[in-house]
Structure 1
Amino acid sequence: MTFSVVKQVSSRITNIEINKSSPSKLSISYDTSVTKSSSGATFENNSIAVYSGLNNPVGRTPIFTQHNVVSSHEGSVELDVSGCNFLSGEYTIALCVGGTPERTICSYSHLNHGAVVAPMSCAISLVEPIAQTQTGFKLKVKFSLLEGMDPKANGDTLCLYDITGNEFKSAGFYRIEETQYAGYCEFEVDSLYAGEQLTLGYYLGNFLGACAAHETVIIDSLN
């Protein structure tokens, strides 16, 4: 069975600008994988976290967190972190697709004395071929999170949606049992058909709207 990738999206920081006249202030642009719930409500539970130093922020405590960041494909937020000089210090800025940075961090970028280092982010992709079983079809998904994350301990989930014909129907919900931040997971679905359009979303911590990355594919052939 074959499929074609329509798009891949990762929740990520897209740009950081420092206010040179007031270096405790940042302007951060970001893109979230999903923006609204199935009922059409915009998610407003994201957060931006600031960490000291240039280390991996996973498992660390932020020195500042901006809550209630609105989901958007072209979002922006202004921060003013008292006591920080982003032009001369070493900091890490992270996007979290939830209000709990420890469990929903999905992208980060370093600020090294004013120089912005390209962000790290998560990714997900369906792996070919799709195998047919006696009871349905087996899907294999490759995922890559931020180093140090533990999908099983975090309660991460993979959600599958059928979006054929602009509809939005749940087609599966699967708990990730892997303990490494990068790897593969497999699960079965009862049925697939040629022309079906599917979206796979990787959700951190099983929080509503906390989608770190998603991929949309079209099933080409069942042969």
Structure 2
Amino acid sequence: MRNKKVIFATVVSVAFLSTSYVVVRNNSPNNSSEEVKVSHVKKKKHAATNLPVTIYVDSEYNKLVGRNDSFSRIITGFDFKEFNDSEAIRFKEVYGNIIERNFHNFRDDYKLLVLYLTHKIETTANDRPLESFMLNKGSALVIGDDELGTYDDLVLYQQEFLTTDYRVKRSLEPNGEILLAVPKSYAENKDLQLRISEKIDGESSYVYLDLN
């Protein structure tokens, strides 16, 4: 797991062409700036899956209590939005005070990606699962094989947050949402995808969802 300390950086990037260059200014301990120019050769866009996407299945969900229940987490849709007042408040409630401290310009620099999810349980009992609307480790926003979190600290922070079960609030509701801030410089890129780590009864694989 990455060190929990987040190194915050300002990232200035040129839109992904056949080759792109990203200038990264990392704040050093003495508050000086260090510029690094990195060359990225664009990778081929991945074949995309269709919605809905089942991202998690546990066919032995209540085995410990002697029941053969099956639990599934499914992405049913998504939407891009501008950050209005109510969405900005919801976003800060999800991710906490770190947003105000370190990403106070997020409303101007990012668009809001909303993923719609549902939890389903096949059971003989009248139970509702108390689970988190989250992603599996390895899920990431990508363009080709390039992870946006490599260049943007807020994207990286969100991805680590959303794949850590004890950080994401659990709910009894059957339907929920995941909120992701996406840099505006990438949000309308036709090659932007969500790489989804599927975990089906312990077996993991990647599928890709087109976001534009």
Q: Which TM bucket (shorter chain)?
A: 0.3 to 0.5
Normalising to structure 2: TM-score of the pair? Answer: 0.38
Normalising to structure 1: TM-score of the pair? Answer: 0.37
More strand by share: 1
